[in-house]
DNA sequence: AAACTGCCAACTGTCGACAGTTGACATGTT
DNA sequence: AACATGTCAACTGTCGACAGTTGGCAGTTT
């Protein structure tokens, strides 16, 4: 029996969740400003907790703060995307290596399951749900069992989601991603850390390039 | 002429700087609690800005927040140190690779300068100033020219400083670190990314082990 | 004496109001 | 007409006060 564990989060905590959702879904559009009094009223809280929520999201990179001007939903240049993916690559390649050397059998099964479900959704001709891509990377991170890396990956993933102007992944790219995922799982199954890292790097390089082109068009 | 550029930081910003200094220097000892009203009075500000400062430092990992209890200076188990160094290794190995492929000649000169000054201070028999170790890694990061990685490295470095219970690096370890640094610079000078990464990994592995033993004694 | 219960002080979480700054518009000037 | 200046509304930065929760202590029970 866990200790009580605050049944309701603090107002600031709730505000963080609501705002994060609104930012990530685009309900608060890119480039727009977050008005403190307005949003506070809309959430039914005062400005204090809302300010803390805004600061928190800013620390996650989901908002940028301008002194005396307020908080804005950031938009990214191609150069930003490239730099962000350098970070993501560093983190996820390390995670892939660790996963290859630490994975349990149930980790492996989970990864294979996600890949299988991805393929099922893909061959069904439906638009490949980004949800499954996230699930794959999430599962891989858990297999790496490195909490600090996991936390940073989560934050970077969020920023990537924020930049995803487009669900408009083209099928060829999706197909390549599925193959990458499968190859990653095989490398991890073999405990081949070097190959896992190499494949992850190639995978993310492709995703980055795809994202940049879809941003500039 | 840059625009006015807030001559005085916000009170919250100032509080962040003061508190960070106090936490990192140990003026606020590990495990102790930060009393909001007390510290607010001491800093001559109200609780609002101080709370924002505390939240900010918590997001940097320099404080941990406990609901309804307050903010504490965290202490780390050996397992924490290991996990933290997995993150640091991921980031700095990537930085070393990038530095090897992007470094300019002036980057190289800077790195060599830091190494030279380190050796001067070492052979002089003085306790090797941690300052110079930080300077080396900082210079390397700048040579990598990857802003997001740089920012994360800065945060991790801070947390490492927080855990440095000891300036008590033993000379043999220091000597090995100096050699590592020199070898890193050579790899970067040669543009050998793979070797730079390998050396960095070995270097951080050694530092991590040393830090764990000095924590447990 | 050990354990449980009820109370209390201290502190965090939250609120509403005031003060200072910013960008924009209107007015006046060359 | 273009530019400089003065004015203003909107918003952020900050403050002091109130409310709810937590951990500890005193008193009671077994």
Interchain pair A148, B86: CB under 8 A: yes
Q: Are B117 and B131 a contacting pair, CB within 8 Å?
A: no
| pLDDT at A27 exceeding the cut of 80 | yes
Interchain pair B146, A83: CB under 8 A: yes
CATH number belonging to domain A78-216:
1.20.120.530
**Mean pLDDT over the full length of chain A:** 91
The gap between B107 CA and D22 C1' (Å) is 54
How far is B160 from B91, CA to CA, in rounded Å? 14
| pLDDT at A153 exceeding the cut of 70 | yes
Per-residue pLDDT tens for B112-164? 999 999 888 877 666 667 889 999 999 999 999 999 999 999 999 999 999 87
What is residue A200's predicted lDDT score, i.e. its pLDDT? 98
By C-alpha distance, the chain B residue nearest A94 is B90
Query: In strand C, which positions have an atom below 7 A from any protein CB?
Result: 11-17, 20-23
Interchain pair B6, A152: CB under 8 A: no
Which residues touch B39 (CB under 8 Å, ≥6 apart)? B19, B50
- Residue from A86, A147, A196 whose CB has the most chain B CBs within 10 Å, to mutate: A86
Interchain pair B94, A98: CB under 8 A: no
Interchain pair A90, B89: CB under 8 A: no
By C-alpha distance, the chain B residue nearest A51 is B52
A41 touches strand C (CB under 7 A): no
Which residue blocks in A28-129 are alpha helix, DSSP H? Answer: 36-43, 47-59, 78-102, 105-123
What is residue A4's predicted lDDT score, i.e. its pLDDT? 38
B9 touches strand C (CB under 7 A): no
Question: What would the two tokens of residue A40 be?
Answer: 């506070």
- Inform me whether the C-beta atom of residue B197 falls under 8 Å from chain A C-beta atoms: no
How far is B7 from A70, CA to CA, in rounded Å? 18
- Inform me whether the C-beta atom of residue A6 falls under 8 Å from chain B C-beta atoms: yes
Residues of chain A contacting B93 with CB distance shorter than 8 Å: 90, 94
> Which of A44-53, A166-175, B110-119 comes out lowest in average pLDDT?
A166-175
The gap between B39 CA and C26 C1' (Å) is 47
CA distance B11 to chain A (A): 12
Q: Is A36 exposed, middle or buried (0-12, 13-18, 19+ CB in 10 A)?
A: middle
Annotation: CATH topology of B11-72: Arc Repressor Mutant, subunit A (1.10.10)
> Which of A169-178, B15-24, B111-120 comes out lowest in average pLDDT?
A169-178
Q: Are A196 and A147 a contacting pair, CB within 8 Å?
A: no
The more confident residue out of A214 and B152 is: B152
Interchain pair A94, B86: CB under 8 A: yes
Q: Is B69 exposed, middle or buried (0-12, 13-18, 19+ CB in 10 A)?
A: exposed
Domain assignments of chain B as residue spans, ordered by start: 11-72, 78-216
Q: What percentage of residues in chain A have a pLDDT greater than 70? A: 90
What is residue A2's predicted lDDT score, i.e. its pLDDT? 33
């Amino acid at each position: 029996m866990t200790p009580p564990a605050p049944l309701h989060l603090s107002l600031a905590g709730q505000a963080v969740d609501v705002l994060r959702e609104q930012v990530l879904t685009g309900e608060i559009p890119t480039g727009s400003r977050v008005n403190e009094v307005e949003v506070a009223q809309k959430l039914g809280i005062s400005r204090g907790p809302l300010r803390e929520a805004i600061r928190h999201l800013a620390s996650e990179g989901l908002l940028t703060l301008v002194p005396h001007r307020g908080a804005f939903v950031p938009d990214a240049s191609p150069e930003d995307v490239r730099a962000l993916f350098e970070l993501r690559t560093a983190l996820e390649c390390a995670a892939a290596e660790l996963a290859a050397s630490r994975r349990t059998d149930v980790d492996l099964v989970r990864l294979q399951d996600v890949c299988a479900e991805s393929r099922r959704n893909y061959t069904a001709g439906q638009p490949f749900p980004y949800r499954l891509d996230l699930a794959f990377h999430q599962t891989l991170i858990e297999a790496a069992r490195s909490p600090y890396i996991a936390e940073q990956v989560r934050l970077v993933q969020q920023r990537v989601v924020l930049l995803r102007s487009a669900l408009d992944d083209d099928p060829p790219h999706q197909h390549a991603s599925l193959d990458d995922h499968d190859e990653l799982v095989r490398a991890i199954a073999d405990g081949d850390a070097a190959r896992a890292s190499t494949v992850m790097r190639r995978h993310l390089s492709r995703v980055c390039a795809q994202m940049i082109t879809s941003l500039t068009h």
